[in-house]
Amino acid sequence: MLVIDGVIYVLFLLAFAPWMDVSIVVPLGIVWGLQPFAVGLTAFTGNLILVLLLGFFFKQFAKWRTTRKLKKGITTPSKKETRSRRIWERYGIPGLALLAPILVGTDIAAVLALTFGSSRTHVISWMTVSLAVWTVIFVVASMYGFSFLNII
């Protein structure tokens, strides 16, 4: 059964929400008793749509973000920005994209990579690859981990 009382839709909205990566959404969906393939596909799609929107509307988002930071009086970069910058300088966009889901979040990494000057095409491509890889990893790890712990 693919849809259990609309829970799959809730899962999609969670995956689409900023700061909710596959590392949270996939285990949550599997614990809720949804089919692992459906959970993976839903989490991947929700996260990917957010990355695509951020990529396509980056200029507008960056302008809004800068204005918001100035109004709040924030002048120094956050810990996540500093960590992302260090990873980006050392490993480039592939490294940042592949490490993003476990370190800073895919959406934050995409915005920061674009801020650092990476091309939109490279950011979207590498984030898609990263999301696909990490989604599979989290689906498999969640299935076996929760099964081992007798949670599912």
Region of 17 (left: φ > 0; alpha: ψ -120 to 50; beta: rest) is: beta
Report the chain's terminal Cα–Cα distance, integer Å. Answer: 16
Quote the number of domains for the chain: 1
Residue 58 domain-assigned (yes or no): yes
pLDDT at 4: 61
Rounded Cα distance between 93 and 140, Å, is 26
Residue 57 domain-assigned (yes or no): yes
Q: What one-letter code names the amino acid at 15?
A: A
Q: Determine the structural domain holding residue 46 and report its residue range.
A: 7-148
pTM above threshold 0.85 = no
The 3-state DSSP class for residue 27 equals: helix
User: What are the residue ranges of helices labelled H in 17-149?
Assistant: 22-31, 36-56, 58-72, 79-103, 106-115, 120-148
Q: What mean pLDDT, rounded, does the chain reach?
A: 86
Residue 142 domain-assigned (yes or no): yes
Residue 2 domain-assigned (yes or no): no
Over residues 122-132, the mean pLDDT reads 94
pLDDT band at residue 128 under the 50/70/90 scheme: very high
